């Protein structure tokens, strides 16, 4: 048999081997479409229509195609489907035996991934030998790997954030710890933002531990933390820096009258008994205050030291009160002793 002998192939075989094919008559009208092409053209009565009414010919020109077909085949043909997706196809056409028509075989080329999505195609819509299937499998595997990688990165990022948060958080109260306080304090100073700093120490906390036990003391510390958070704003910071010592940063708040009012209110609230296993645990608080605007060049260590000095003065003056340190004249300004139900027990 000569290699040039025409071979007749049944339409079912063409549908299997070339699911994106079209068969045209000699006038260019569609007489048959492959199953995948029919899916792409779903809802459109294509048989009997001119192919070039459905597709826009990109290359070569129509006149050139007829010349090429008279020679047997067109070589590469580029088409664009006239639909909302404007899908591009690449293919070739050959004359059928006896010049009975034209067989046009198409593929999606680089538009394959968009086509699969737009026309809801699956692996079964392509010939088993079509490299498109391999591309789809690779793309699917790559997408799965990328999804796994993203999920892993998200888990790692979450773990990192939790670790960083743990490193800056007091485990018992959930407040900032000393490290977090130092970072926040230095940032405020570097940015030249005004603030007030309050150093708070609980009065009679040792009495709670000695009388009711350390579990009761822990409950008191958690209750104190809740009060301090409620008395501060989102932009402020509250840190536990020692057993029963806390530091508060009031960002942008340096008015002496306002900061004094807040300190007095905190002391009053902390005198409310904390109930633990039916027993009332009572503490009070002493506070030392400094304001950054009273320093020519505020330094973190100096601010903390002066606030501690003011706190000690509050303790010495009888507890349950606040004291404001004035670095410009080197003296303390004592606030009034806060009257309450519990401010006279010994440590």
The mean pLDDT of 77-93, rounded to a whole number, is 88
User: CA-CA distance, 267 to 335, in Å (whole number)?
Assistant: 12
Range of the domain at 154: 135-167
Residue 127 pLDDT:
79
Residue 18 pLDDT:
84
User: CA-CA distance, 310 to 326, in Å (whole number)?
Assistant: 9
Would residue 339 count as lying in a domain? no
The mean pLDDT of 81-97, rounded to a whole number, is 86
Those residues with Cβ within 8 angstroms of residue 113's Cβ, 6 or more apart along the chain or in another chain: 139
CATH number of residue 22's parent domain: 3.30.450.260
Query: Is the full-model pTM beyond 0.75?
Result: no
Residues 73 and 183 in one domain: no
**What percent of the chain has a predicted confidence (pLDDT) above 70?**
82
The mean pLDDT of 84-104, rounded to a whole number, is 83
Residues 324 and 193 in one domain: yes
Residue 150 reports pLDDT greater than 70: yes
**Tokens coding 151:** 């999920």
Would residue 42 count as lying in a domain? yes
260-297 pLDDT tens trace? 999 999 999 999 999 999 999 999 999 999 999 999 99
Least confident of 60-74, 88-102, 297-311: 60-74
User: CA-CA distance, 75 to 93, in Å (whole number)?
Assistant: 7
Residues 185 and 330 in one domain: yes
Residue 346 pLDDT:
44
Residues 103 and 143 in one domain: no
**Residue 66: other Cβ atoms inside 10 A:** 12
Would residue 258 count as lying in a domain? yes
CATH number of residue 275's parent domain: 3.30.70.270
Residues 17 and 50 in one domain: yes
Residue 136 reports pLDDT greater than 90: no
3-state secondary structure (DSSP) of residue 78: strand
**Tokens coding 83:** 């639909």
Work out how many domains the chain is built from and give that number. Answer: 3
């Amino acid at each position: 048999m000569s290699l040039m002998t025409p071979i007749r192939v049944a339409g079912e075989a063409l549908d299997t081997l070339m699911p994106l094919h079209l068969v045209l008559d000699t006038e260019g009208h569609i007489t048959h479409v492959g199953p995948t092409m029919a899916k792409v053209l779903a809802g459109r009565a294509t048989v009997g229509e001119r192919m070039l009414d459905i597709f826009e010919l990109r290359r070569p020109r129509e006149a050139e195609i007829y010349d090429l077909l008279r020679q047997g085949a067109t070589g590469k043909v580029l088409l664009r489907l006239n639909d909302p997706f404007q899908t591009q196809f690449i293919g070739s056409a050959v004359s059928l035996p006896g010049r009975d028509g034209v067989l046009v075989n198409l593929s999606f080329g680089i538009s394959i991934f968009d086509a699969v999505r737009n026309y809801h195609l699956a692996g079964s819509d392509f010939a088993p030998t079509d490299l498109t299937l391999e591309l789809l499998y690779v793309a699917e595997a790559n997408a799965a790997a990328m999804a796994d990688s993203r999920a892993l990165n998200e888990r790692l990022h979450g773990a990192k954030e939790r670790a960083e948060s743990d490193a800056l958080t007091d485990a018992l109260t959930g407040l900032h710890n000393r490290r977090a306080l130092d970072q926040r304090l230095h940032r405020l100073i570097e940015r030249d933002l005004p603030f007030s700093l309050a150093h708070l120490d609980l009065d009679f906390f040792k009495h709670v531990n000695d009388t009711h036990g350390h579990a009761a003391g822990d409950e008191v510390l958690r209750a104190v933390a809740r009060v301090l958070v409620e008395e501060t704003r989102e932009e402020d910071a509250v840190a536990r820096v020692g057993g029963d010592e806390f530091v508060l940063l009031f960002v942008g708040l340096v008015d002496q009258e306002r900061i004094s009012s807040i300190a007095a209110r905190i002391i009053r609230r902390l005198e409310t008994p904390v109930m633990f296993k039916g027993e009332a645990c009572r503490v009070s608080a002493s506070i030392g205050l400094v304001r950054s605007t009273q320093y020519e060049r505020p330094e973190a260590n100096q601010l903390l030291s002066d606030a501690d000095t003011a706190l000690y003065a509050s303790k010495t003056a009888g507890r349950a009160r606040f004291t404001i340190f004035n670095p410009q004249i080197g003296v303390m300004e004592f606030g009034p002793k806060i009257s309450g139900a519990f401010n006279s027990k010994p440590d």
